[in-house]
Structure 1
Amino acid sequence: MIAMTSDMPEYLPLKVANALLPDAPALRAQMEQDGYLFLRGLLPPDVLHAVREDVTGVLQAIGWIRGGPDRLAAQAQVLPCREGEPRYFEAIDRIQRLESFHSLAHEPALLQLMTLLLGEGAFPHPLGVMRLVFPDNPEVTTPPHQDFRNNQGTPRLTAAWIPLADCPLDSGPLAILPGSHRSGVLPLSFHLGPGNRQAVLPEELATARWATADFCAGDVLLFPALTVHRALPNRHPSRMRLSVDFRYQPAGEPLTEQCLQPHFARQSWDEIYRGWRSPDLQYYWHKRHYTVVPWDASLHALPEEH
């Protein structure tokens, strides 16, 4: 059990799955039981450090964080902004053009793990998500939700949540409701956080214990599209939480067209690739096997009263 301060609840610890590597049946059984896999130290810290250098370079250039020796700490020096604001897109558009950001989804250790879990031909969606979480902005903390309604396609879609540095509880890591993937697709209601939607939890989930951990650089949390998850508030007095979401799917299974586009589709892939050092990962999904299915707007719609 993870002990909290008096104003924070108690959480279950995430089960560490490293001992199951490289046993594919054991990994799949654990995922089926709990709805997540938590791997300590899966990624090389120097690779994450390089991505964080590039991301904080963008944030410093637009004035969001302090420069100099404090840059990598991502110490915020502006008022928070939220997804959808022009100031937010000023940062996201530049980060979407970073080769290091997109390359992280293809790290060998991640691809090997996804092959064990999802089978040969498993691949990351080109849509990668950068999370820029300001301190002391709890109203827009990512609420409980499932990824299926936002992405659709195959329910076997599997997310990898990766902090770009150590992310202890007070910095707002992700939390999971173990076993929630067995509850089916849940209804939606409005929320101020990313996507403006949250899952409406049935009583057995609303009263269940969340599981989380103090994350270290290199740790990876995996979960399928029906697992309920949320972010904890970033309670650090000054540091932003920088993390990435990448999603992987088995070969041959369905996906929607938006999963083949850059996040928010504000730029073309040609614009994003301009200035990259290597063409190796450009349009890589053209060589992969999948089926494009229509987006079902009803799955993403809020009730009329919302």
Structure 2
Amino acid sequence: MITSNGYVLEENERRLGLLEPVPDGERHDRNALWARLRRDGYLYLKGHLSPETVNGFRGYYFQSLDGANVTEPGTDPGLGISTPEAVDRASMREALFGTVVPGPEYQQLCEHPAIADWFAWFLEDDVHLHRRKIIRHTKPGEAGIGTATQAHYDLVYLREGSDKVLSMWIPLGDCPLERGGLAYLENSHHWVMAQEREGTLQRPAVSITADLPGLADTHNTRWLVTDYEAGDVVVHSAHIVHASTDNVDPANKLRLSTDIRYQRKTEPIDWRWQEHWNFDDGL
């Protein structure tokens, strides 16, 4: 059973489908990738990064949070085994926002040649990585409103810059369905762009809803999900609606992921995203 914020997603062919990976024959064809991105709103690039790169960072991340009672004492931090005890949120935030987010290890991951050089190639220009980069983990068993990322599209949070900014979502470690990965609302970028042009979408920045099955019913479409593997990434437009599902992993492993944003340097840049992510930065 797949849930998000406690809502159960309908598991039938009208409401649930699989993300379509970019075929090997298109991986180095810029025109084919652009056609796919315009059509689907996302590019699912399997094995884009080495598993060693993402799993190494996964180990560093949970090791950095040692003392905040996030992982089970005595276990390999890279496994991300959740502890049943209460998390020390003050210690966790101190480590996350004081060490991990502004640290060189995170920056090196986000500027990895397979990422930065790929965006420069794809966009055919000098590129800018937004300094505000979000990294989060999700504990197994958490459910209810606010525990998973609600349905939204990125542009509502980036209105001071270009609408051509691209996001990359990176699962940091294997992320099978039960661990709660990212889900995309099929073809939603088309109606979002239409309503953006008409000026009929809600402002200011706000999530659309926590009710993923209800949103799929409203637009008569499907949520697209998959079993992500370490090294997979998804590049998506600023207009496609996406959300995360709940972590119900029976192995009790934490989901860890990051989302980063690149754009052409020649496009307007949202100034609010040029400081490190912080718990109370208001975005």
Match of 2:188 among 175, 180, 187: 180
Match of 1:199 among 195, 204, 208: 208
Change (3 A) 1:74 1:254: same
Q: Deviations over 1:80-110 (max 9, x none)?
A: 779xx64552342132133221211111112
User: Which runs of structure 2 are paired with 1:3-14 in the superposition (5 Å)?
Assistant: 9-10=10-11, 11-14=16-19
Match of 1:119 in 2: 124
* Unmatched runs of 5 consecutive residues or more in structure 2: none
CA RMSD of aligned residues (A): 3.0
Q: Using the alignment, how far apart are the partners of 1:198 and 1:172 within structure 2? A: 18
Match of 1:154 in 2: 162
By how many angstroms is 1:263 displaced?
A: 0.3
Q: Deviations over 1:203-258 (max 9, x none)?
A: 77543101111000000011011110000111114221111111111221112222
> Identity across aligned pairs (percent)?
26
Aligned 8 A contact 1:142 1:230 in 2: yes
Match of 2:174 in 1: 166
Structure 1 position 243 matched with structure 2 position 257: yes
* TM-score, with structure 2 as normaliser: 0.81
SS in 2 for 1:17: coil
Change (3 A) 1:138 1:74: same
Q: Using the alignment, how far apart are the partners of 1:165 and 1:15 within structure 2? A: 20
SS in 2 for 1:138: coil
User: Which runs of structure 2 are paired with 1:1-306 in the superposition (5 Å)?
Assistant: 9-10=10-11, 11-19=16-24, 20-78=26-84, 86=90, 88-93=92-97, 94-139=99-144, 140-152=147-159, 153-183=161-191, 184=193, 185=196, 187-188=201-202, 197-199=206-208, 206-237=219-250, 238-264=252-278
Aligned 8 A contact 2:152 2:208 in 1: yes
Aligned length, in residue pairs: 259
Aligned 8 A contact 1:80 1:134 in 2: no
- Structure 2 residue identity aligned to 1:232: T
By how many angstroms is 1:18 displaced?
A: 4.2
Q: Which runs of 4+ in 1 moved over 6 A?
A: 201-204
Change (3 A) 1:205 1:219: farther
Aligned 8 A contact 2:216 2:222 in 1: no
* Unmatched runs of 5 consecutive residues or more in structure 1: 268-296, 301-306
